[in-house]
Amino acid sequence: MTGAPPLAVVEPVIGGADAPSRDRARLTAVDGTPLAEIGLAPRLLALAAVGRVRAAAGGPPPAAEVFARAGELFATAELAGESVEEYRRRVTMATGTPGPAITRAVAGIRAALGMTDRLNRAELPAEFAVPGYATRWVPRGTVLAAIVPNNHPEPNVTWVRALSLGASVLVRPGSKDPFTPRRLLAALLAAGLDPDRAAFLPGGHEVGEHLLQQADLGLVYGGPDAVARWTTRADVLVRGPGRSKALVGPDPDDDLLDHLTEWIADDGGVRCNNISVVLTSGPVRPLADRLAARLAALPVLPLLDEKATLPATGRQAATALRDHLTRITAGTTDHSTPRYDEGPLADPGDGTTVLRPMVLSTEDPAHPLIGTELPFPFVVVAPWRPQDGTRPLRDSLVVSIPDDHAELAEAALREPTVRKVVTGRVRPWSSVPELPHDGSLATFLLEPKGLVTDAADR
């Protein structure tokens, strides 16, 4: 008889070694079982980490080969006593993100670390060749505090790229996923990263606030509250809710409905570029019904099932979510719940609660629910009129205009609060390294300075 998997122990990491802490927290899986014991970095330990990292900061960045090797190790090796299979299980059960999505994230991280140099070069102007004159991109600061999220592993690539641009990094992980940044740091150290280039410091909001105060620059992933707290700071790069949108014509065909279903629900609907608003120039309710029917067909499966597509949460959290949904959906039409015998919160038989998709509609294009993001496939269908122009598309990480109204693409790109526009039946997250995702990390961390040498007089 096989017993339960061993409880993971995650400690702060300073100078490349665990720094055991007496402050502890228990991380519970979404099925209610104990998953990990987390050592929390108290203020004094965080201060020590800041001092050590700052003392060693500066100098040239690690070679690109370090990051490529780290990506391979992250995806394949046993690191700190953890196999990639156990890593996948822990992240899945801690966050409620379906296992296949974590498998894809591992592959995405491996690919990104294999091309850090290409990603960085894509964000900086090409060097010019004039004898005696040169522009050098140099760090705005030497130490970055990174407050990373729980919703998906891949945003952790950002702080790794900061290392590749010459910064030293203090990482405060999300409370549900300390596993991804810890594993990434272990991979980087095994690949040859200087141990004092980065520190891993689990803790609450107060630890994050302290690190942001002590560092030269900050990177914050978070919801609306974090955006409101930090967005006015020029020394903090904020990555907030995606609020990604699609604009469709009056009579989308079945193929487009299939695409929209994927764009809403892929990876469990937890990514910032999943579609959470569909605007239509046609009737709202029929489109919402058609989307709800397709999304309702997604199976309810345990998180670790290789065909799982939907996220899950714990039973206590599910009760709170049910009450929250009742409050926020007032004044809209729910096209999904009537399709589910047991409601949108389903029991897959593994102790978790699966979050089934929810499609709502409103005839009010300014309804306050538009732009709301929840940790499962959640979408609001609302009307769009030609006289509205691009106004309803604002505040979007991605705007998809798959067929009708493609003439709005250029105008949408000029909207300051729209980061990316996709036309045609192309996934919202489709990209190449040369395409910006959410601004430029390189031009946040670096600034241009001029160098003139005596060759200028020749």
DSSP labels, 175-187 = SS--HHHHHHHHH
* Locus of tokens 């809710």: 241
| Range(s) of the chain covered by CATH 3.40.309.10 | 243-421
DSSP labels, 123-156 = TSPPPP-BTTEEEEEEES-SEEEEE--SS-SGGG
Q: Is the pLDDT of residue 3 over 70?
A: no
Tell me, which fold does domain 6-123+139-239 have in CATH?
Answer: Aldehyde Dehydrogenase; Chain A, domain 1 (3.40.605)
Average pLDDT, the chain: 94
Sign of the alpha-carbon torsion through 71, 76, 82, 85: positive
Q: Is the pLDDT of residue 396 over 80?
A: yes
Specify the pTM: 0.94
Q: What is the mean pLDDT of residues 197-208?
A: 95
| Range(s) of the chain covered by CATH 3.40.605.10 | 6-123+139-239
pLDDT tens for residues 101-146? 999 999 999 999 999 999 999 999 887 778 889 898 999 999 999 9
- What is the pLDDT, as a whole number, of residue 321? 92
Q: Is the pLDDT of residue 231 over 90?
A: no
Q: Is the pLDDT of residue 76 over 60?
A: yes
Q: Is the pLDDT of residue 240 over 90?
A: no
**Three-state secondary structure call for residue 277:** strand
Task: State in words which class domain 243-421 has.
Answer: alpha beta
- What is the pLDDT, as a whole number, of residue 1? 41
Main-chain dihedrals φ then ψ at residue 316, nearest 5 degrees = -65, -45
Lowest mean pLDDT among 205-209, 223-227, 249-253, 349-353: 223-227
Query: In this predicted model, which residue has the larger pLDDT, 362 or 225?
Result: 362
Q: What is the mean pLDDT of residues 226-250?
A: 90
The pair of structure tokens assigned to 430 is 């489709």
The pair of structure tokens assigned to 404 is 């009708």
Terminus-to-terminus CA distance in the chain, angstroms?
A: 82
